[in-house]
């Protein structure tokens, strides 16, 4: 059976989604708190959701940002799924962990990504490294846009999750040194994070 619509997922408490039923040959390539992602072709994947409200949030975010190079292309939205571009490559967390360092080139791309998120009116300017994919061309794409436009009054305008993830990898100081050189204004706003 090749109908991804027959895949079902569930979630208990605050855990990641669990696949309940997958009678298809499509492999699971990722999962989080809102859904599970399956590769359905060389250039497309489908995210199956537990809650319909999250389908609506993510599909609206994808629709609103289709002119941007930092988000996957949207192909189809259904009752419990979204079909989008499949991005081949590791998460930024996996990429940086494997390298053991952060280059000025990657820092520059992170800064560009954050600027593009601002341009797109993202409410969350603090992506997790696990929600940024590195393409084969070393471009950055952001995934998991369920809460991208959600307004949170207590959310600061600096990428705290991103910096916490970099700190956990032991490369936050290098990142901030490079930000100081590339974007002194952002550095002034972020330097107290250490």
Architecture label for domain 4-85: 2-Layer Sandwich (3.30)
Q: What pLDDT, on a 0 to 100 scale, did the predictor assign at position 156?
A: 57
Q: What pLDDT, on a 0 to 100 scale, did the predictor assign at position 92?
A: 97
Question: Which among 169, 51, 185 is positioned nearest to 118, based on CA atoms?
Answer: 185
Mean pLDDT of 4-10: 92
pLDDT tens, residue by residue, 44-86: 999 999 999 989 989 998 999 999 999 999 999 999 999 999 9
Domain assignments of the chain as residue spans, ordered by start: 4-85, 92-193
The CA distance from 131 to 122, in Å, is 14
103: pLDDT strictly greater than 90: yes
123: pLDDT strictly greater than 90: no
pTM for the model: 0.89
pLDDT tens, residue by residue, 127-186: 889 999 999 999 999 998 876 655 444 555 678 889 999 999 999 999 999 999 999 999
Structure tokens at 6: 């027959």
Q: What pLDDT, on a 0 to 100 scale, did the predictor assign at position 148?
A: 65
The CA distance from 73 to 147, in Å, is 18
CA distances 189 to 94, 114, 160, Å, are 27, 14, 11
């Amino acid at each position: 059976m090749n109908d991804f619509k027959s895949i079902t997922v569930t979630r208990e408490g605050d855990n990641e989604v669990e696949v309940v039923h997958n009678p298809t040959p499509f492999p699971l390539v990722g999962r989080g708190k809102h859904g599970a992602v399956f590769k359905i072709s060389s250039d497309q994947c489908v995210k199956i959701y537990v809650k319909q409200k999250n389908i609506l949030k993510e599909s609206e975010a994808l629709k609103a940002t289709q002119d941007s190079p930092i988000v996957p292309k949207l192909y189809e939205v259904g009752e419990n799924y979204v079909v989008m571009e499949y991005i081949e490559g590791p998460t930024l967390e996996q990429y940086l962990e494997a390298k053991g360092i952060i280059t000025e080139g990657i820092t520059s791309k992170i800064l560009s990504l954050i600027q593009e998120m601002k341009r797109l009116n993202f409410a969350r300017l603090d992506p997790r490294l696990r929600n940024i994919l590195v393409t084969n061309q070393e471009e950055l794409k952001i995934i998991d846009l369920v809460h991208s436009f959600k307004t949170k009054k207590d959310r600061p305008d600096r990428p705290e999750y991103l910096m916490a993830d970099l700190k956990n990898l032991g490369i936050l100081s290098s990142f901030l040194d490079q930000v100081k050189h590339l974007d002194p204004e952002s550095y002034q706003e972020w330097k107290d994070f250490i």
